[in-house]
Amino acid sequence: MAGIIPSPSNFIENIINSDLENNKYGGRVHTRFPPEPNGYLHIGHAKSICLNFGIARKYNGLCNLRFDDTNPSKEDIEYVESIIEDVKWLGFDWEDRLYFASDYFEQLYDYAVQLIQKGKAFVCDLSNEEMREYRGTLTEPGRESPYRDRSVEENLDLFARMRAGEFPDGFRVLRAKIDMGSPNMNMRDPALYRILRATHHRTGDAWCIYPMYDYAHPLSDYLENITHSICTLEFEDHRPLYDWVLETLELEERPLQIEFARLNLSQTLMSKRKLRELVEQGFVDGWDDPRMPTLSGLRRRGYTPESIRDFCDRIGVAKSNSVVDMAQLEHAVREDLNRRAQRFMAVLRPLKVVIESYPQGQVEELDAENNPENPQAGWRKIPFSRELYIEQDDFMESPPKKFFRLSPGREVRLKHAYIIKCEEVIKDDATGEVLELRCSYDPQTRSGADTSGRKVKGTLHWVSAAHALPAEVRLYDHLLKESAPQEIEEDEDLPGRGELKQMLNPRSLEKLTGCQVEAGLKEAVPGQGYQFLRQGYFCLDAAAGDQLVFNRTVPLRDTWAKIHKPGRPG
Ligand code: ATP
Ligand code: MG
């Protein structure tokens, strides 16, 4: 790389810088994001995407998108398509470098033949159970397979016949010949190829043997000229095998595997397999359910790509695992939408207000600021009339001392409008339920033209009853009741249906029908964030068709900002 080496901002960039100083890859930096197409991407993947594409951008290098599709039984084209859409949405571009590990099947086979020829791989006939037994334990060395000393010729013949489909599934495997006494279990003659008759979403039935991840991954990296192969911490113990494959094949300019800590978020799950379980068991409304930590779920919830990228930047890159508080992600989207979201008024639980002193049939167009954070956002007109809606909980008949909203005989300001006073409460005789408020208004107090000099403590949002539009609003809470049970995240076994149900927050979704929103929201478009005054940030639900359905992205209150005032968290 010509010229100046950028200053590093994490340990991975330190490694890259030292490689650049030593001219290790001729100054090249080439990374990849290698998802397995067995589920939708989640926010943890976003961290990996931002890291890999971010490094390529910073170092003027390249980043590939590669599907690690070596396990046909779990994979599907639906996942390939969703992953492509999500990486694009996040704002990254792999240009013409979209690859599939399955495109290398022929080359991977040839390399396996080379390993056999070097006496470094053998066909093993032990059953799965016997293999496990021979493998030893963390405290005891393993035992060598009785098939380990097969001749090169016999191995070549058997491997070719494995490929030709002469043996049933699982009958034989190709194994690396490394060291059954290694303290690292991954080095105890690991399997490289297995027999599996499963239709692959790209290669169809062309193959009945498939390479194992630990074998395919280093070679895929090598074939794509990757320099720095960044992965998560659980692969640290696999690195010796990664290196062994490339060294044994005597390949030059070998990529370097670097591990970093995976992102865990509080009160949600972060494993494709477990998220898939939620979808398949019907606990959520699909992969893009707005409660899901998937990128498609976050998008439908109203998260912006900018806020997710910002979040990933801020949490940084670490070498040991930890759990990040969900409030940090919420903080990022709030900050982004605060700058950009147009303000509206929406009444989620309407209570009718009749301004008795306001002329029947009169409608005034009042001025409302679109976004006080952005003067360029301008102003809009909102209609005011005799019948309005306010929020049910903005009224109390017998309020406690510090209640500055509406109650009998008290005054409040209606945002962008007038000061009103509650004169009478109409109730249902039988139930005592408050049905309607009768109020008066002070014509001298119009916002922007207030000549009264009066001050009131409370300001309420409202809509004009005749002009507002009916809408549904969905409020969300965390997916899980309690903060991430780390063991469950890391446990390879899926939790049972009962266990899942136990973990899920039964109040994660509240649907409010009968909301009344400002008429301007008729023009709302999916993917755009709006602030409903005093209620939070919302977006139009992309799956709701012609109905006006809004998802709350986040409420306004920001606990994270209070803890880490005023600057950056962390
Ligand atoms: P999952 O356990 O959710 O299935 P995975 O690691 O099996 O995740 P892959 O499709 O193999 O999913 O992941 C693609 C890339 O994303 C890998 O490099 C992986 O290390 C990275 N990745 C996956 N989960 C996280 C996470 N929580 N934080 C950071 N990176 C992650
Ligand atoms: Mg996986």
- Of the listed 28, 66, 254, 262, which one is catalytic? 262
Residues 44-63 as b or e (16 or more Cβ within 10 Å = b): bbbbbbbbbbbbbeebebbb
CATH assignment of the domain containing 132: 3.40.50.620
Q: Check pLDDT > 80 for residue 489.
A: no
Nearest C-alpha neighbor of 47 from the set 60, 59, 62, 35:
35
- Residue 1 forms part of a structural domain: no
Known catalytic membership, residue 239: no
34/156 same-domain check:
yes
Dump pLDDT digits (tens) for 121-159. Answer: 999 999 999 999 999 999 999 999 999 999 999 999 999
Q: Whose CA is nearest to atom 9 of ligand 1?
A: 35
Tokens of 441: 């208004």
- Give the CATH number for residue 406: 2.40.240.10
The confidence score (pLDDT) of residue 564 equals 55
- Other CB atoms within a 10 A radius of the CB of residue 227 amount to 24
Ligand nearest to the CA of 294: 1
Instruction: State pLDDT tens for residues 502-544.
Output: 899 999 999 999 999 999 999 999 999 999 999 999 999 988 8
7 within some domain: no
* Shared domain check, 112 and 252: yes
Q: Ligand 2 mean position to 354 CA, how many Å? A: 59
2 lies in some domain: no
Write the CATH number for 284. Answer: 1.10.1160.10
Q: Let me know whether 236 and 297 are in one domain.
A: no
Quote the pLDDT of residue 545.
Answer: 86
From the CA of 271, give the closest atom in ligand 1. 3
Confidence (pLDDT) at 322: 86
Same domain for 316 and 383, yes or no, is no
Residues 193 and 67 in one domain: yes
pLDDT reported for residue 565: 47
Q: State whether the beta carbon of 44 lies less than 6 angstroms from ligand 1.
A: yes
* DSSP summary character for residue 208: S
Task: List the residue whose alpha carbon is closest to atom 25 of ligand 1.
Answer: 44
Output the pLDDT for position 328. 96
pLDDT digits (tens, 9 = 90+) for 163-221: 999 999 999 999 999 999 999 999 999 999 999 999 999 999 999 999 999 999 999 99
Q: Single out the residue in 260, 290, 315 at which a domain terminates.
A: 260
11 occurs within a structural domain: no
Residue ID of nearest Cα to ligand 1 atom 27: 44
Percentage of the chain beyond pLDDT 70 is 95
- Is residue 4 included in any domain, yes or no? no
Contacts of 491 (CB under 8 A, 6+ apart): none
Among residues 172, 272, 299, 309, the one annotated as catalytic is 272
Whether the CB of 370 sits within 6 Å of ligand 1: no
277 lines ligand 1 (CB under 6 A): no
Q: Answer with the one of 213, 242, 260 that is the final residue of a domain.
A: 260
Residue 438 lies in a domain: yes
Same domain, 254 and 271: no
Are 250 and 386 found together in one domain?
no
- The first and second tokens of residue 204, run together, are 């169809």
- State residue 316 phi and psi, 5-degree precision: 70, -175
Residue 37 placed within a domain: yes
> Among this protein's residues, is 272 annotated catalytic?
yes
Residue 490, pLDDT above cutoff 80: no
Q: Is 272 in the pocket of ligand 1 (CB under 6 A)?
A: yes
For residues 365 and 251, membership in a common domain is answered with no
The ligand with the least distance to the CA atom of 318 is 1
pLDDT digits (tens, 9 = 90+) for 239-261: 999 999 999 999 999 999 999 99
Nearest protein Cα to ligand 1, atom 16: 45
- Give the chain's domain count: 3
Q: Is 43 helix (H, G, I), strand (E, B) or coil?
A: helix
**pLDDT tens, position by position, 347-393:** 999 999 999 999 999 999 999 999 999 999 999 999 999 999 999 99
Residue of minimum CA distance from atom 2 in ligand 1: 271
288: CA distance to ligand 1 center in Å? 18
Ligand 1 binding pocket includes 271 (Cβ within 6 Å): yes
User: What pLDDT score was predicted for residue 486?
Assistant: 58
Q: What is the mean pLDDT of the chain?
A: 94
Between residues 48 and 566, the one the model is more confident about: 48
CA of 35 to the centre of ligand 2 (A): 8
Q: Confidence band (pLDDT; 50, 70, 90) for 22?
A: very high
Q: What pLDDT is recorded for position 485?
A: 56
Ligand nearest to the CA of 263: 1
Residue 12 in domain = no
Closest ligand to residue 276's CA: 1
Residue whose tokens read 């998260």:
303
Q: From ligand 2's centre to the CA of 7, what distance in Å?
A: 33
Question: 262 catalytic, yes or no?
Answer: yes
Whether residue 240 sits in one domain with residue 136: yes
Closest residue by CA, ligand 1 atom 15? 35
Residue-wise pLDDT tens digits, 491-508? 667 778 888 888 999 999
What is the extent of the structural domain holding 180?
Answer: 17-260
335 lies in the same domain as 386: no
**Mean pLDDT, residues 456-464:** 96
pLDDT digits (tens, 9 = 90+) for 262-316: 999 999 999 899 999 999 999 999 999 999 999 999 999 999 999 999 999 999 9
- Is ligand 1 within 6 A of the CB of residue 45? yes
How far, in Å, are 37, 58, 276, 288, 547 from residue 74 at the CA level? Answer: 8, 35, 11, 19, 36
Model confidence pLDDT, tens digit, residues 23-80: 999 999 999 999 999 999 999 999 999 999 999 999 999 999 999 999 999 889 999 9
Domain boundary among 210, 244, 260: 260
- Nearest residue to 229 via CA among 521, 33, 374: 33
The mean per-residue pLDDT over the stretch 396-404 comes to: 94
**220 and 103 housed in the same domain:** yes
My answer on whether 314 and 386 are in the same domain is: no
For the CA atoms of 404, 394, 343, 566, the dihedral, rounded to the nearest 10 degrees, stands at 50
- Residue ID of nearest Cα to ligand 1 atom 14: 35
pLDDT of residue 487: 55
For residue 568, name the pLDDT band (cuts at 50, 70, 90): very low
CA 119 / ligand 2 centre spacing (Å): 31
Mean pLDDT score, 445-466: 95
Would you state the pLDDT for residue 475?
A: 98
